[in-house]
């Protein structure tokens, strides 16, 4: 991709709670990256988890983006009505002989494998070698999830913020879930199918998803889909290095707007503490665009993993 080609970025909120400062920061950077190239933004509501997704949070997310001046150009697209597209991709992987049923429970997985590379569990391959007879026997007791068989595959890429990142899929990730036992397609599969169909060329999101990127790039390769560019922003953390979560009421958007009074004061504050702007003075996304440079941002960041919310 040429350096100045217009990029298509995306906002991909999961409507499981109200946005917090960290969500606003990644959306702001996604918007600035796309708009600084004359590009566009897609809004995709990631309501794959039907139980935890709530209609009120879908409305809130759209209103929050609008209030903050983070306009999108296409969408909203929803994951809840994309099952056919995910099923087609799943079928392609099955036809390649790469998918197998996994009967392990969460407890089995925790007992079988030591946490590796932070919190990520590497699947030890328990169900990989089951034969047909064993599979049908197990299927009588438990509906299986489905995993993608991965090999001794090396995936590396240059993240625009985090720099060079690599994983050996077999060693660092293991065979991963592409369909859950309740029939829902996994986030890794859905996000890859959606990014490709919606023409997304720039993915900007929290660094907590950095370790998922090799899985997604591997799926793109298997499905013949292009790789977008990636930029993983630091997480904004609460006190004591604890991640902000949608349960942190004081960092939720209502509370933030109460505290900062205007959207520009909030955006300016986030820009100041993250190094997007030299001061915490009020600023709109358009105003930040004038001096935005992703390379400068990464240079200004003191910590690439986390920024303390103040
Ligand atoms: N829906 C995810 C979230 O809200 C983001 C997924 C992604 O950007 O790939 O954290």
pLDDT digits (tens, 9 = 90+) for 231-282: 999 998 876 566 666 666 656 888 899 999 999 999 999 999 999 999 999 9
- What stretches in the chain show pLDDT beneath 50? 1-2, 116-117
- Kindly state the helix (H) or strand (E) to which residue 235 belongs, with its residue range: strand 235-237
Ligand 1 centre to CA of 45 (Å) is 9
Question: pTM for this structure?
Answer: 0.93
Around ligand 1, the residues with Cβ closer than 6 Å are 12-14, 46, 191, 205, 209
**Whose Cα sits closest to atom 5 in ligand 1?**
12
pLDDT computed for residue 242 by the predictor? 66
**Whose Cα sits closest to atom 9 in ligand 1?**
191
Ligand 1 centre to CA of 190 (Å) is 11
122 within 8 A of 177, measured Cβ to Cβ: no
Ligand 1 centre to CA of 208 (Å) is 10
The backbone torsions φ and ψ at residue 293, rounded to the nearest 5 degrees and listed phi first, read: -150, 115
Handedness of CA 242, 247, 253, 256 (dihedral sign): negative
pLDDT computed for residue 251 by the predictor? 66
259 SS3 class: helix
């Amino acid at each position: 991709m040429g350096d100045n080609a217009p990029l298509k970025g995306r906002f991909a909120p999961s409507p499981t709670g109200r946005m917090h400062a960290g969500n606003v920061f990644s959306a702001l950077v996604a918007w600035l990256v796309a708009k600084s190239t004359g590009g566009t933004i897609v809004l995709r509501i990631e309501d794959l988890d039907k139980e935890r997704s709530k209609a009120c949070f879908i409305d809130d997310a759209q209103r929050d983006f609008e209030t903050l001046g983070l306009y999108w150009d296409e969408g909203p697209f929803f994951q809840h009505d994309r099952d056919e597209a995910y099923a087609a991709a799943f079928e392609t992987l099955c036809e390649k002989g790469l998918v197998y049923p996994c009967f392990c429970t969460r407890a089995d997985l925790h007992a079988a494998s030591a946490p590796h590379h932070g919190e990520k569990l590497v699947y030890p391959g328990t169900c990989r070698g089951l034969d047909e007879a064993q599979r049908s026997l197990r299927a009588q007791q438990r509906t299986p999830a489905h995993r993608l068989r991965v090999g001794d595959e090396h995936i590396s890429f240059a993240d625009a913020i985090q720099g060079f990142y690599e994983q050996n899929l077999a060693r660092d990730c293991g065979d991963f879930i592409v369909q859950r036992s309740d029939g829902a397609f996994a986030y890794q599969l859905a996000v890859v199918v959606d990014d490709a169909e919606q023409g997304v060329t720039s993915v900007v999101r929290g660094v907590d998803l950095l370790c998922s990127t090799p899985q997604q790039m591997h799926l793109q390769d298997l499905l013949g889909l292009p790789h977008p560019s990636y930029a993983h922003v630091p997480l904004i953390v609460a006190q004591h290095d604890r991640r902000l979560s949608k349960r942190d009421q004081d960092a939720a958007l209502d509370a933030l707007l109460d505290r900062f009074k205007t959207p520009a004061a909030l955006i300016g504050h986030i820009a100041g503490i993250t190094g997007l702007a030299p001061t915490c003075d009020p600023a709109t996304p358009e105003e930040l665009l004038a001096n935005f440079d992703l390379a400068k941002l990464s240079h200004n960041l003191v910590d690439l993993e986390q920024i303390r919310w103040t």
